[in-house]
Amino acid sequence: SLAVSGSIIIAGTGGGVFMSTNNGGNWTAMNNGLTDTLVMSLLVDGTNIFAGTRNGGLFKTSNNGNSWTAVNNGIMSSSAIFALSKSGANIFAGASNGLYSSSDNGINWAFVSNIPLYTFLSFAVSGSNIFAGTDGSIFFSSDNGINWTAINDGLTNNNINFSLYTSGSGIFA
């Protein structure tokens, strides 16, 4: 997983989080506090960086990775966090056991129960529209994640793994 915070490039890897301040010339491991270094997803939200891991849930740093804190209140233990996204005031965590949302900057998480239980693997956001790719469907919300609808017409394979992308008025899976 890759993310950018200002002039810092952030890479989530099988060995933790690495950061570069010189366009990838040098990388520094920033894993203090991560109890799981298999990082599957990253999200930059202002001065906060979130890291979703394979077995340890979700972590947050507010000091560019110098220290990480687990932020799993409300997330089922041992959830793999495959995808992270933000729409409006809501942060979404796509997990191996469903979709979670937080409206308080990751302090508390709520299971999104108005959507079928799938493994959520990718997100794409365009304005207040958010698309979620899963292992069985693509879901769409036009109200920052309050209501969700399956949008699978024309798909020959509903297993949308790790990539969604919006461009103009289109979405690519």
pLDDT tens per residue across span 135-154? 777 888 888 788 888 887 77
The answer to whether 100 touches 92, Cβ cutoff 8 Å, is yes
Cβ neighbourhood burial of 154 (10 Å; 0-12, 13-18, 19+): exposed
The answer to whether 130 touches 145, Cβ cutoff 8 Å, is yes
DSSP 113: -
**pLDDT of the residue at 159:** 65
**pLDDT of the residue at 158:** 62
Please report, as a single letter, which amino acid is at residue 47: T
**pLDDT of the residue at 17:** 97
| Residue 147: CB atoms within 10 Å | 11
pTM equals 0.87
**pLDDT of the residue at 72:** 93
**pLDDT of the residue at 157:** 65
- How many whole angstroms separate alpha carbon 72 and alpha carbon 153? 35
The answer to whether 167 touches 137, Cβ cutoff 8 Å, is no
- Residue with structure tokens 């793999």? 80
Per-residue pLDDT for the chain (173 aa), expressed as one digit of tens each?
A: 899 999 999 999 999 999 999 999 999 999 999 999 999 999 999 999 999 999 989 999 999 899 999 999 999 877 899 999 998 889 999 888 888 999 999 999 998 877 777 777 888 888 778 888 887 778 888 887 888 888 877 776 666 666 777 777 777 77
- Rg (Cα) of the chain, in Å, rounded? 16
> Is the Cα torsion angle 160, 17, 96, 113 positive or negative in sign?
negative
**pLDDT of the residue at 73:** 95
Helices vs strands, H then E, count in the chain: 0, 18
